[in-house]
Amino acid sequence: MPHYWPARVASAAPRRRPAAPTGPPPETAPTARRGRPAYDSAVPDAPARQPASGVSLRPVTPENEAAVVALRVRPGQERLVAANAQSLADARAVPACEPFAVYAGETPVGFLLLRHDYPGPRDYYLLRLMVAAEHQGRGYGTAALERLVEHVRTLPGASALRTSYDVGEGNAGPFYARLGFVATGGTNGDEVELLLPL
């Protein structure tokens, strides 16, 4: 079992040296993008800011697993997060992993994976987070993280939620920063590590 779990690749991926530099903290993460950004909230069919009410986290079960596995990020975002099938396989290999389907009403729109013992016991780490391409920019990612924080606050010894992100184009650094995550100064593989005090 590797001792780090980047968001973007399978756990079996070969270890790479951290990029030098690993990138600025999210408060100052570069926003300039070349070409068409992988993330663009101004998709024509998405309301500018629709209240994301009715968003829930539900267990991944035999009934909804195929739908979760079928969820895909936008072209160009695949390098930012592992495929859900891979994340579910990773979760099965580690009992302290808790995968969730993100639902908007009764529709599965995303996926996240929480680990309860990383890097140590009672350290809560958001290993994977994705909202499917057609559902991005509607507040579902934000609402899913709010639900996750509510959940983590109920867990033993929870004082923080950690995560990490790849610094590539279209990265989720600004998304996490606006939710209150701050850079720890550390890395997870070659990803920037963040922490949200609870």
Question: Does 142 sit near ligand COA (CB under 6 A)?
Answer: yes
Query: Hey, is 192 helix, strand or coil?
Result: strand
The residue with its CB nearest to ligand COA is 141
Size, binding site for ligand COA by CB under 6 A: 25
Q: Which stretch binds ligand COA (CB under 6 A): 60-68, 76-84, 116-124, 153-161?
A: 76-84
Angle CA(101)–CA(38)–CA(181) in degrees, nearest 5? 60
Binding marks (x or -) toward ligand COA, 161..190, rule CB under 6 A? Answer: ----x----xxx-xx--x------------
Inter-CA distances, 112 with 22, 25, 131, 191, Å: 24, 23, 9, 17
Residue 56 Cα distances to 64, 73, 111, angstroms: 14, 19, 11
Interface with ligand COA includes 131 (CB under 6 A)? yes
Given 87, 136, 187, 188, the residue binding ligand COA (CB under 6 A): 136
The CA-based diameter of the chain, rounded to the nearest angstrom, is 45
Tokens of 95: 């009992």
Query: In the complex, which residues of this chain contact ligand COA (CB under 6 A)?
Result: 7, 39, 41, 49, 73, 77, 80-81, 129-131, 136-142, 165, 170-172, 174-175, 178
